[in-house]
Amino acid sequence: MPLRHSTVKITAMLALTLAVAAPAFAQDMSGMDMSGHDMSQMPGAKQSDATTMKEGEMDSMSDEAMDHDMHMGNGAMKNMSLHMAYTDLRPANDADKARAAVLVTDLQHALAKYKDYHVAEADGFKPFHPEFKQQKVVHFTRNWNGLKAMFTFNPNEPTSLLYERTPDGGYKLIGAMYTDHKGATLDQLNERVPLSVARWHRHINFCIPARGTDMKTADWTKFGPNGSIATKEACDAVGGRFYPQVFGWMVHVYPWETNPQLVWAH
């Protein structure tokens, strides 16, 4: 896999999973979806009894975890498999290939205007922590798109745009990310983007430091998106808070890749 796509995986793990919509993390993470909206307040939703977080606590935690892992270099991939789950590829078929090709072509046209990242920002796509210069790829997320994606799929309105930093301090558009709610079935994901072509992923088994912990002194080799702790039992043993899944399903697409194998690379 090219370095660029490996970097996207790390950035997605550190940035999107932790703080796509930082202010919303004052609410219970287990009630949140990719948009950062509190699902527990939606009609028919059950109120979770999971531990809630103080205002700004998760944003602080995301800063420290990202700063730690961005300085780990290749080591940032070490425990990623503990906290990522992927859909299995279904058997390839011509119908799915044709459907995916239409998605890519339509997305190329829909995103053309966003090659100028200023246009994306004007349309409500906001970069996550652009001050972290170690990020080679920055996610620009539009929360409204993420909210709508929980209920319906518009292939021309991805939740996030993926920008690669350029030497002049700007950004080059390289891809996009679609999302679905955490309870989506495999068949529902397949209806959006065929599972024979792309592998959707979700972020799982997070152990968060106990409330009141100084995030600057937390052991990020154990906690967070690259931590060694990946079970509730191990998390309980250190007094942490365990979340079996954070946010919903996600899938990346790189519509301008010339190599077909990399268009839906995860």
For residue range 176-235, list pLDDT tens digits in order.
999 999 999 999 999 999 999 999 999 999 999 998 888 888 888 899 888 899 999 999
Within 8 A by CB and 6+ apart from 258, the residues are none
β partners of residue 242: 207
Domain range for 150 = 3-263
**Secondary structure of 95-143 in HEC code, one letter for each residue:** HHHHHHHHHHHHHHHHHHHHHCHHHHHHCCCEECCCCCCCCCEEEEECH
Continuous H helices in 12-91? 17-19, 57-70
Between CA 146 and CA 128 the distance in angstroms is: 15
> 3-class DSSP state for residue 171?
strand
Domain count, the chain: 1
Hey, what are 11's tokens?
């950035």
Within 8 A by CB and 6+ apart from 217, the residues are none
Against a cut of 0.85, is the pTM above it? Answer: no
Confidence of residue 242 (pLDDT cuts 50, 70, 90): very high
> 3-class DSSP state for residue 49?
coil
Between CA 135 and CA 131 the distance in angstroms is: 9
First to last CA, the chain: 9
For residue range 33-63, list pLDDT tens digits in order.
443 333 333 333 333 333 344 444 444 445 4
Between CA 218 and CA 252 the distance in angstroms is: 31
Confidence of residue 163 (pLDDT cuts 50, 70, 90): very high
Within 8 A by CB and 6+ apart from 174, the residues are 4, 137, 162, 163, 164, 254, 256
